[in-house]
Amino acid sequence: MKTILTDRPLSLDLGDREDLVCFDLSRMRIAPCVGCFGCWTRTPGSCVIRDDAVKVYPRLAESDTVLYVSRVRYGGYDLPVKIMLDRAIPVQQAFIRLLDGETHHVQRSVVPKRAVIVAYGARDREEEDLFRRLVARNAKNMSFAHYEIRFTGEEQVEAAVRQEVEAWKRS
Amino acid sequence: MEKILILNGSPRAPRSNSKRYGALFDRAWGGESETMDLLRADPGAVAERLETVSRVLLVFPLYADAVPVPVLRTFQALEERPPKNRPTLSVLVNCGFLEPEQCDVAVDMAALFCKQMGWPMGSVLEIGSGEAILDSPFRFLAAWKIKALARAVAADRPRRLKAAMPVSKAFFLKASTRYWLAYGARHGVTGEEMATMEIEGQRPS
Ligand SMILES: Cc1cc2nc3c(=O)[nH]c(=O)nc-3n(C[C@H](O)[C@H](O)[C@H](O)COP(=O)(O)O)c2cc1C
């Protein structure tokens, strides 16, 4: 299972492969997390906000490969991807374990994954370096076994995504 | 003492730990202060208030290793319509995990915002175990570091401070399990139910 999360429309031909899905967050209705911890303590594994996010996080959990497409803002993700990643915490339990000597949440049924992040619009090296540090931290909380970051300009986003998707189709 | 603007960036501002940390800071500050919740405040009103102060304290929780949405939205709105004034921005961030260093990236995001805006970056306090410390016997440690933060902000002497429960990781794991079990029990949910491996009622194949 392979999943794309994008903050902008992409013209992609995914063929009729059911194992490839693209969520265009710019066309979805997803509210920001309200920090209620309902997904850990009231309805474990389900978010209490029943909008489009509930279609996305189960799919991210079962994907062995994910591709995130996001503009970079202040060394982090821009709002669409940021909002969705915050809303994905139902895939974790409230309970905490040690991972690489640090405290992190226990994951529910989440497949370890390879993540590719197409990050566009970073202003300079400093912003790229901060984004790298963010993704390194995300890797621990989001079950990235491997990840790659491809920094691109806005015009090269489609090409970078297409290159990755073509490789998926061949696999 | 000059007035300080306290911005609460929590997505659950009215019932947040950030509100409690902000209140402790306010008490330590002693002078005039004004608090705004970024969740509800109109960015134009925030920008207007920023014209009137030389110091700002941004209080927020760590969300997915980064700043939460109300902070990101505010940064973007201020960048679009920057106030003429360039206040010094200090940061008080708290996170659920034990290690305050897990907040480093979020602090550096705030520092990058300052750099892009031409604002001076002030002092920083990172609080690990921040979800629970205020209701633990170690509340005094958080309060003590917040006092040190208030002094550094008042003296315009940027410092980088950290606080966390002074317990072993093994103890923290046990204490956090107790904390979350009690949280679930308040909603009639058992530990076994909370530990379900299912997501949206399904176990991925
Ligand atoms: C969606 C979401 C994401 C979170 N991400 C992190 C994280 O990456 N690291 C961490 O230590 N705590 C994380 N937390 C825990 C909060 O930082 C912690 O509970 C904090 O005390 C909340 O502060 P507040 O009440 O001021 O909002 C997260 C909480 C939520 C709801």
pLDDT in tens, A115-154: 999 999 999 999 999 999 999 999 999 999 999 999 999 9
Residue spans of the domains in chain A: they are: 2-170
User: Residue A73 has what DSSP assignment?
Assistant: E
Query: pLDDT digits over B144-173, tens only?
Result: 999 999 999 999 999 999 999 999 999 999
From residue B144, give the alpha-carbon distance in Å to each of B93, B132, B147, B151: 15, 16, 5, 11
Q: Do B61 and A35 touch (CB under 8 A)?
A: yes
Question: In terms of CA atoms, which chain A residue is nearest residue B181?
Answer: A41
pLDDT of residue B158: 98
A64 vs B contacts (CB less than 8 Å): none
Q: Helix (H, G, I), strand (E, B), or coil: what is residue A95?
A: strand
What top-level class would CATH report for the domain B4-167?
Answer: alpha beta
Give the distance (Å) from ligand 1 centre to CA of residue B11.
10
So what's the ipTM on this one? Answer: 0.97
Size of interface A-B (CB pairs under 8 A): 159
Q: Produce one character per residue of A50-86: b if its CB has 16 or more CB atoms within 10 Å, e if not.
A: eebbbebbbbbbbbebbbbbbbbbbbbbbbbbbbbbb
Both tokens assigned to A154: 């806005």
Give me the mean pLDDT over the A53-63 stretch. Answer: 97
Task: For chain B, give the number of residues.
Answer: 205
Nearest CA to ligand 1 atom 17: B95
Tell me which chain A residue has its CA closest to the CA of residue B193: A44
Quote the percentage of chain B above a pLDDT of 90.
96
Residue B125 has pLDDT above 70, yes or no: yes
**Average pLDDT, whole number, for chain A?**
96
Would the pLDDT of B205 be above 90?
no
pLDDT value of position A13: 83
Residues A137 and B144: their CA atoms lie apart, in Å, by 29
Ligand 1 binding pocket, CB closer than 6 Å = A 33, 35, 86, 89, 141; B 10, 12, 16-18, 61-65, 94-97, 102, 130-131
| pLDDT of amino acid A3 | 97
> Given this model, what pLDDT does residue A17 score?
85
Contacts of B97 in chain A (CB under 8 A): 96, 102-104
Element (H, E) at A59: helix A53-62
Burial of B186 from C-beta contacts in 10 A (0-12 / 13-18 / 19+): exposed
Question: Up-side HSE of residue B20: CA atoms within 13 Å toward CB?
Answer: 16
- Tell me which chain A residues have a C-beta less than 8 angstroms from the C-beta of B203: 109
Smallest CA–CA separation between A55 and chain B, in Å?
Answer: 9
Strands A20-24 and B55-61: unpaired
Please give the residue that has the higher pLDDT: either B99 or A13: B99
**Can you tell me the distance from the alpha carbon of B173 to that of A97, in angstroms, rounded to the nearest whole number?**
7
Token pair recorded at residue A79:
């709002």
Contact yes or no for B189 and A42 at CB 8 A: yes
pLDDT, position B202: 84
pLDDT at B2: 85
Q: Answer whether A99's CB lies under 8 Å from A131's CB.
A: no
Determine the residue type at A112: P
Question: Given an 8 Å threshold on Cβ–Cβ distance, is B64 in contact with A75?
Answer: no
What is the fold, at CATH topology level, of the domain defined by A2-170? Rossmann fold (3.40.50)
**In chain B, which segments carry CATH 3.40.50.360?**
4-167
Report how far residue A15's alpha carbon sits from residue A44's, in angstroms, rounded to the nearest whole number.
Answer: 35
Mean pLDDT of A30-47: 98
Look at residue B204 and tell me whether its pLDDT is greater than 70. no
User: Which residue of chain B comes nearest to A55, CA vs CA?
Assistant: B200
C-alpha–C-alpha distance, residues B155 and B186, integer Å: 44
Are the Cβ atoms of B12 and A111 closer than 8 angstroms?
A: no
3-class state of residue B204 by DSSP: coil
The band of B105, judged by pLDDT with boundaries at 50, 70 and 90, is very high
Q: How far is the CA of B100 from the centre of ligand 1 (A)?
A: 12
How high is the mean pLDDT of chain B?
Answer: 96
Inter-residue contact B80 to B44 (CB < 8 Å): no
Given the CA of residue B66, which atom of ligand 1 is nearest to it?
Answer: 8
What does the alpha-carbon distance between residue B168 and residue B170 come to, in Å, rounded to a whole number? Answer: 5
Question: Around Cβ A140, how many Cβ atoms within 10 Å?
Answer: 15
